[in-house]
């Protein structure tokens, strides 16, 4: 059992490192070929930080491990709100003032409802997956169009400026784009293999492994970028990173995995995990709109988010130990 544990740790470390190289290489390559900053910020950076979840879930689905695929997607969403936003708010309260983010909050809530409706019957068919992916494509196109019509200090431009300091020559950019993508796939294979072996060795379901170890591991790029952005005072980037990642996970990650291989959904996914994810999303919606005043995630609210994630994770572990 030692080898699978080493495989998981090594796979996670390589996954996070390769995701960073992939984002930097992709953004620099796009900049060299004249892609607008908005597209770099919203598409390249958003895709890159969610690439670990996408590749891991796609490989898990293709290998017949739907628990890992769904657990990774929904568990990452829960970790993004509870762990990442909670932790970043403890470091520095997160102001919610961007109009782009205020539109994304209700959209995320509606998308969560759509995802719950899709798995209501216990299956994610290729039609269900296609609907999720089509909605994601439509939202991306609408968001980009809206952003192009707004002032230059949009969320995408802010994210692009964050990457400007890491500009590199085009050959090096293409090199890291290719190497990062290849290592993403390799590290994902190692991670999925190790996780499946651990689950089988301890009699734990693939779903629990996906919701805990893999979900937290694949969320590390979002955690790092959100903490850095918050310490620099870029609150919009920290919050937008989490909201964008959750939209991507709910629609694109599950959609791609479902189109590769239709998935049977365990009852716990809806009765426990989806409901908790929805509750966190609604609470974030309320906090973002400033129920008690100006939109702001203060340290008290951040603590509650973090405690809720710890409690949820502890409950999952207790179901295994029990």
98-153 pLDDT, tens digit each: 564 567 778 888 999 999 998 888 899 999 999 999 998 888 887 777 666 654 44
The model's pLDDT over 219-253, given as tens digits with 9 standing for 90+, comes to 877 787 777 777 767 666 677 778 878 888 999 99
Angle between the 220-231 and 46-62 helix axes, to the nearest 10 degrees? 170
Alpha helices in the chain (DSSP H): 2-32, 37-39, 46-62, 66-79, 86-91, 99-118, 126-148, 155-164, 170-202, 206-209, 215-218, 220-231, 235-247, 254-260, 267-268, 275-288, 299-321
Token pair listed for 177: 């784009």
Q: Are 66 and 205 in contact (CB under 8 A)?
A: no
- Domain positions in the chain: 2-321
CATH number of 2-321: 1.20.1420.30
Confidence of residue 159 (pLDDT cuts 50, 70, 90): very low
277 exposed, middle or buried (CB, 10 Å; 0-12, 13-18, 19+)?
Answer: buried
The answer, yes or no, to whether residue 154 has pLDDT greater than 50, is no
From 157-161, 209-213, 282-286, the region with the lowest mean pLDDT: 157-161
What is the spatial distance between Cα 244 and Cα 81, in angstroms, rounded to a whole number? Answer: 11
Average confidence (pLDDT) over 2-16: 88
Predicted TM-score (pTM) of the model is: 0.83
């Amino acid at each position: 059992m030692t080898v699978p544990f080493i495989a998981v740790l090594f796979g996670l470390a390589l996954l996070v490192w390769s995701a960073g190289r992939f984002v930097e290489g992709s953004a620099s390559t796009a900049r060299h070929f004249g892609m607008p900053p908005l597209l770099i910020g919203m598409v390249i950076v958003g895709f890159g930080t969610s690439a670990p979840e996408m590749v891991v879930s796609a490989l898990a689905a293709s290998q017949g491990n739907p628990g890992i695929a769904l657990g990774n997607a929904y568990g990452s969403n829960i970790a993004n709100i509870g762990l990442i936003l909670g932790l970043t708010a403890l470091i520095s309260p997160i102001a919610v003032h961007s109009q782009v983010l205020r539109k994304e909050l209700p959209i995320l809530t509606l998308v969560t409802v759509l995802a719950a409706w899709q798995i209501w019957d216990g299956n994610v068919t290729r039609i269900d997956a296609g609907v999720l992916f089509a909605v994601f494509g439509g939202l991306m196109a609408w968001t980009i169009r809206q952003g192009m019509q707004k002032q230059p200090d949009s969320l995408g431009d802010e994210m692009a400026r964050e990457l400007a300091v890491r500009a590199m020559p085009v050959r090096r950019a293409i090199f890291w784009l290719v190497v990062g993508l290849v290592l993403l796939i390799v590290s994902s294979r190692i991670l999925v293999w190790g996780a499946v072996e651990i689950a089988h060795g301890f009699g734990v379901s693939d779903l629990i492994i996906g919701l805990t170890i893999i979900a937290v591991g694949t969320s590390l790029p979002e955690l790092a970028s959100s903490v850095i952005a918050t310490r620099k005072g870029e609150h919009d980037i920290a919050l937008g990173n989490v909201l964008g990642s959750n939209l991507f996970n709910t629609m694109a990650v599950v959609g791609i995995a479902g189109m590769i291989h239709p998935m049977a959904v365990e009852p716990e996914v809806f009765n426990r995990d989806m409901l908790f994810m929805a509750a966190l999303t609604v609470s974030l919606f309320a906090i973002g709109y400033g129920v008690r005043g100006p939109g702001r995630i203060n340290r008290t609210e951040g603590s509650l988010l973090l405690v809720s994630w710890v409690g949820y994770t502890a409950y999952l572990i207790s179901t295994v130990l029990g």
